Amino acid sequence: MVSEIRICFVCLGNIVRSPLAEHLFLRLANQKRRKHEYIVESAGTSAYHIGEKPDSRMCRVAANHGFRYSGRSRQFEVNDFHRFDYVVAMDLENRDTLQRLSIDDTHRKKIRTMREFDPLGNSHMDVPDPYFGGADGFEETYCIIERSCRGLLEAFEDGRLEI
């Protein structure tokens, strides 16, 4: 029996981008009847919002796209490198923070960037953080994360990524 692929999406505060990615990825996997193949969580590199619910503005955008989600923010811990097969950073700053937290090459090899799975992006591009901006930024971020989640799921399905 093959074990599930374990993924942790990571942004700064774990209230906007990474919880959206967590739930969008699971939603897409569920639509393909493959949700059971994944264990997915999210976390933040900072302690700014520990225990808070996802940002209401991003939740509204998600609801406009037909789904709702919830959860509570938590901070990424070094032990998470042992728990997850892939640690997917929303931007280069969080990727760099994760690399500093990693203790060896085994950990560092698990770190990926979200935009490397975006057909309109690459591994050197950030998912923009709309936290201090207007509604348009939340919509743009939603679209980027949705494309990237689709790309990540396809990478697993076609064998480009594996445990």
- Give the residue numbers annotated as catalytic, written as ranges: 11, 17, 129
Helical H runs in 32-157?
56-64, 80-83, 92-101, 105-108, 135-157
Residues 28, 67: contact at Cβ < 8 Å?
no
Residue 139, SS3 per DSSP: helix
- Return d(Cα 43, Cα 12) in angstroms, integer: 8
Separation CA 114–CA 111 (nearest Å): 10
61: tokens are 């955008």
